[in-house]
Amino acid sequence: MNAANEIATVGSDLDDVISRAIDAKTKPLGALGRLESLAFLIARIQRTVKPSMDRCQLTVFAADHGIAVHDVSAYPQAVTRQMVLNFLDGGAACNVFAKLHGVDIQVVDAGVAGPPIDSPHLLSRRIGEGTGDSLHRPAMTREQFVSALSQGVEIGRRAPGQASALGEMGIANSSSAALVAHKLTDHSLADLCGCGTGLDSAGLARKIRVLGLAAQRTPRRLSPQEALEHYGGFETVMMTGAMLGAAAKGKVVIVDGYIATSSALAAVALAPACRDYMVFAHKSGEHGHTAMLQSLKALPLLHLGLRLGEGTGALLAWPLLRAAAAMMSGMASFEEAQVSGPL
Amino acid sequence: MNAANEIATVGSDLDDVISRAIDAKTKPLGALGRLESLAFLIARIQRTVKPSMDRCQLTVFAADHGIAVHDVSAYPQAVTRQMVLNFLDGGAACNVFAKLHGVDIQVVDAGVAGPPIDSPHLLSRRIGEGTGDSLHRPAMTREQFVSALSQGVEIGRRAPGQASALGEMGIANSSSAALVAHKLTDHSLADLCGCGTGLDSAGLARKIRVLGLAAQRTPRRLSPQEALEHYGGFETVMMTGAMLGAAAKGKVVIVDGYIATSSALAAVALAPACRDYMVFAHKSGEHGHTAMLQSLKALPLLHLGLRLGEGTGALLAWPLLRAAAAMMSGMASFEEAQVSGPL
């Protein structure tokens, strides 16, 4: 957990300077709405009124989940591996959006079931062949947790650019995310559980029943470490680490959707200072995301009903981060442009 | 009004083909939310399951408003001209966002008060030195209306790219927009009026009082032509024309915010077929936009509390249009990527 100690508290000493710089731009006060608060956040992290936001890397963490055997997902477990191959072939939504926006993708095998995938384009950081079945036992050992988290920290530290977008793939990981969020907040499983990739109402009822039984194994609230060991996924623990590592390097962390927000909950519980580095890309179409966002007092940028994961929401939000930084660095002030102020 | 007749009805004959193509992509059904309906709209207009969306032009129409003399805006009328100069110098928000996204800007002087602005980068289509004071008389003559609309149609027709983003600048044009929308819908002025560039509550009350008096000059409902002649602006009438011209050329029309939506209301009233070419970029922070959007049954893409105009919301939405088209043209299908479907 060294990364947690290395995350610098984002200072408020420049807040007035940054606010004045935003207010001096040639636009009515506050007329760029949420983009102004986003610009403020970026300027605060970078400690300048001329922030830059020109490079971002998306890291997609993939792994499998033992709890998938209980039919908590609409898709078979094999899809995790198949989608990793799709990422490597460039055919997935994350590839298409990343290419469009000039964002590099790094795909990490954090523990996909089956034999290792042989590809020079895949970063292999396999913690195991999927987690254990958390209905009956912890999803991972202490050693696996520590390894996944620290590998994630390193990945987060090393990612290039001023922002790190983080995505995931893992059949049944919405079940894992719901359990982690349940153990880290006061929200009920019913408030946190959604249909994932497309369960029908009977499927959702089954999912909530299975997760309720899994939750009963442990006390109502857990520490972030306990919650991740008992119910996390290799990919989501690694993503939590990557959030800490990116924040430790002063990067903006672009939190994708439902699954990524559960990792953000854990990251903030482990290291509260990382909260100030986080931008929440979008409000997911997955029921339960609202409750998680509330716990983090997070206002997402986009409201498009996305529920795909892979970092796709983070990629769609990336141009807004660029625009926010460009506003501060590129727009003229009233004085510079000789434009009159209000009457 | 030839453009109105030239707008092809967007056919529904390919709807099933387009829906199947979207559903075949490697993602859970509907998992890309609003981006899927956006992709559907674009594919329908372009009549292909592999649409392209790689070029867009922003046209910013500027003009002044006679009603500004009644202190209905927080800013002095001189700001219209000053901001046009700012656009030409590249210092405004629209310049910064357009540059970021590789969108060309064309600035049109539709009738800015004072002498003509001498610049090779400005398209001069001056209908007059600002409109008449619509509190007491029609904002423009029939001839001025016809000229502004037809110039707009030509501009819309000629703009390059698969999409036309349309923006505006004109001190007091939120007053003009509210009056036009009031005469074209059942919404009250109170439901349609907001604080514009930043009126306080006393200023807003004054604005509603002035607009109420202006509205009393004419019958409760007007035809689009009458509404625009009595209360429109040279820039907003020209923008209405540009929407018709762009739709006639089969381009997607990216409607910006509050002011642009009033032009969209008029365009749809003049030529209902153009509605299917419109994408509503964002829900403005300006009170009254919600009512206008309801009248058009429009679901905006972004919810960022923007209220700047200049086409800034359209520019921020442009990457979503690109992503929607790229999704259809670039993503692999389940079959192509050999990914399993649902259980």
Q: Answer whether B91's CB lies under 8 Å from B198's CB.
A: no
Interface test with A, best of B256, B308, B328, B334 (most A CBs within 10 A): B308
Q: Answer whether B167's CB lies under 8 Å from B38's CB.
A: no
CB contact under 8 A, B343 and A76: yes
Searching chain B, which residue's CA lies closest to the CA of residue A32? Answer: B306
CB contact under 8 A, A332 and B89: yes
Mention every residue, 6+ apart, whose C-beta is less than 8 A from residue B154. Answer: B241, B245
Residues in chain B with CB shorter than 8 Å from the CB of A307 are: 28, 31, 33
Each residue's pLDDT, cut to its tens digit, for chain B (343 residues) gives 577 889 999 999 999 999 999 999 999 999 999 999 999 999 999 999 999 999 999 999 999 999 999 999 999 999 999 999 999 999 999 999 999 999 999 999 999 999 999 999 999 999 999 999 999 999 999 999 999 999 999 999 999 999 999 999 999 999 999 999 999 999 999 999 999 999 999 999 999 999 999 999 999 999 999 999 999 999 999 999 999 999 999 999 999 999 999 999 999 999 999 999 999 999 999 999 999 999 999 999 999 999 999 999 999 999 999 999 999 999 999 999 999 999 8
Q: Token pair for residue A52?
A: 């830059």
CA nearest to A83, candidates A173, A168, A186: A168
Answer whether 0.95 is exceeded by the pTM.
Answer: yes
Residues in chain A with CB shorter than 8 Å from the CB of B97 are: 323, 326-327
Q: Which of B78, B198, B342 sits opposite A342 (nearest CB)?
A: B198
DSSP string, A241-298: HHHHHHHHTT-EEEE-SHHHHHHHHHHHHH-GGGGGGEEE-B--SSTTHHHHHHHTT-
CA distance A31 to chain B (A): 5
Bridge partner list, B273: none
Q: Rounded distance, CA A258 to CA A291, Å?
A: 10
Q: Which of B101, B320, B343 sits opposite A75 (nearest CB)?
A: B343
CA nearest to A260, candidates A38, A55, A59, A44: A59
Interface test with B, best of A22, A32, A54, A94 (most B CBs within 10 A): A32
Residues in chain B with CB shorter than 8 Å from the CB of A199 are: none
CB contact under 8 A, A82 and B339: yes
CA nearest to B223, candidates B271, B273, B269, B189: B269
Q: Which of A89, A336, A342 sits opposite B91 (nearest CB)?
A: A336
Rg (CA), chain B: 20
- Each residue of A41-69: pLDDT tens digit? 999 999 999 999 999 999 999 999 999 99
Bridge partner list, B63: B111
Bridge partner list, A122: A107
CA distance A22 to chain B (A): 12
Q: Which of A27, A33, A93 sits opposite B304 (nearest CB)?
A: A33
Task: Give me the sign of the Cα torsion angle A266, A271, A273, A274.
Answer: negative
Q: Rounded distance, CA A109 to CA A257, Å?
A: 20
CB contact under 8 A, B95 and A330: yes
CB contact under 8 A, A28 and B97: no
Searching chain A, which residue's CA lies closest to the CA of residue B29? Answer: A198
A96 pLDDT exceeds 70?
yes
Residues in chain A with CB shorter than 8 Å from the CB of B304 are: 32-35, 301, 320
A24 pLDDT exceeds 60?
yes
Rounded to an integer, what is the distance from CA B261 to the centroid of its chain? 5
CA distance A319 to chain B (A): 7
CB contact under 8 A, A342 and B27: no
Mention every residue, 6+ apart, whose C-beta is less than 8 A from residue B269. Answer: B184, B223, B224
> Which run of H or E residues covers position A21?
helix A15-23
CA nearest to A7, candidates A227, A238, A225, A251: A251
pLDDT recorded at residue A192: 97
Q: Rounded distance, CA A232 to CA A229, Å?
A: 6
Q: Taking the C-alpha atoms of A209, A210, A212 and A217 in order, what is their torsion angle to the nearest 10 degrees?
A: 150
- Each residue of A186-196: pLDDT tens digit? 999 999 999 99
Q: Rounded distance, CA B211 to CA B187, Å?
A: 14
pLDDT recorded at residue A3: 79
Mention every residue, 6+ apart, whose C-beta is less than 8 A from residue A94. Answer: A58, A60, A87, A105, A167, A310, A311, A312, A315
Please count the CA atoms within 13 angstroms of the CA of B210 that sit on its side-chain side.
Answer: 25
Q: Token pair for residue B228?
A: 């625009």
Mention every residue, 6+ apart, whose C-beta is less than 8 A from residue B294. Answer: none
The DSSP 8-state label assigned to residue B139 in this structure reads S
Helix (H, G, I), strand (E, B), or coil: what is residue B117?
coil
Interface test with B, best of A22, A23, A26 (most B CBs within 10 A): A26
Q: Rounded distance, CA A42 to CA A29, Å?
A: 19
Mean pLDDT, residues A107-134: 97
Q: Which of B36, B143, B310, B336 is catalytic?
A: B310
Mean pLDDT, residues A303-311: 98
Owner of token pair 């990527």: B337
Interface test with B, best of A54, A69, A303, A310 (most B CBs within 10 A): A303
Give the pLDDT band (50/70/90) at residue A241.
very high
Q: Which of B74, B305, B342 sits opposite A74 (nearest CB)?
A: B342
CA distance A287 to chain B (A): 13
Q: Answer whether A247's CB lies under 8 Å from A277's CB.
A: yes
Q: Answer whether A187's CB lies under 8 Å from A295's CB.
A: yes
CA distance B30 to chain A (A): 8
Q: Answer whether B42's CB lies under 8 Å from B324's CB.
A: yes
CA nearest to A198, candidates A72, A320, A332: A72
φ/ψ (deg, to 5) at B217: -65, -25
CA distance B78 to chain A (A): 7
Q: Which of B27, B31, B75 sits opposite A343 (nearest CB)?
A: B75
Rounded to an integer, what is the distance from CA B266 to the centroid of its chain? 11
CB contact under 8 A, A99 and B326: yes
The angle formed by the CA atoms of residues B56, A336 and A30, to the nearest 5 degrees, is 65
- Each residue of B177-236: pLDDT tens digit? 999 999 999 999 999 999 999 999 999 999 999 999 999 999 999 999 999 999 999 999
Q: Helices B312-330 and B15-23: crossing angle, nearest 10°?
A: 80
Q: Which of B30, B71, B331 sits opposite A93 (nearest CB)?
A: B331
Mean pLDDT, residues A265-274: 98
* Reported ipTM: 0.97
Q: Rounded distance, CA A59 to CA B64, Å?
A: 50
- Each residue of B86-123: pLDDT tens digit? 999 999 999 999 999 999 999 999 999 999 999 999 99
Q: Answer whether A170's CB lies under 8 Å from A63's CB.
A: yes
Q: Answer whether B175's CB lies under 8 Å from B317's CB.
A: no
CB contact under 8 A, A79 and B312: no
Interface contacts (A, B; CB < 8 Å): 201
CA distance B38 to chain A (A): 10
Owner of token pair 């990251």: A267
A168 catalytic? Reply is no
Buried b (16+ CB within 10 A) or exposed e, B248-271: bbebbbbbbbbbbbbbbbbbbbbb
CB contact under 8 A, B308 and A27: yes
Helix (H, G, I), strand (E, B), or coil: what is residue A157?
helix
Q: Taking the C-alpha atoms of B320, B321, B323 and B324 in order, what is their torsion angle to the nearest 10 degrees?
A: 120
Residues in chain A with CB shorter than 8 Å from the CB of B341 are: 75
Q: Answer whether A179's CB lies under 8 Å from A168's CB.
A: no
Bridge partner list, B122: B107
Q: Which of A229, A310, A335, A336 is catalytic?
A: A310
Searching chain B, which residue's CA lies closest to the CA of residue A196? Answer: B28
Residues in chain B with CB shorter than 8 Å from the CB of A285 are: 30-31, 33
Q: Which of A27, A320, A340 sits opposite B82 (nearest CB)?
A: A340
CA distance A208 to chain B (A): 18
CB contact under 8 A, A343 and B35: no
CB contact under 8 A, A96 and B331: yes
Q: Which amino acid is at B257?
A: G
Task: Give me the sign of the Cα torsion angle B299, B301, B302, B308.
Answer: negative
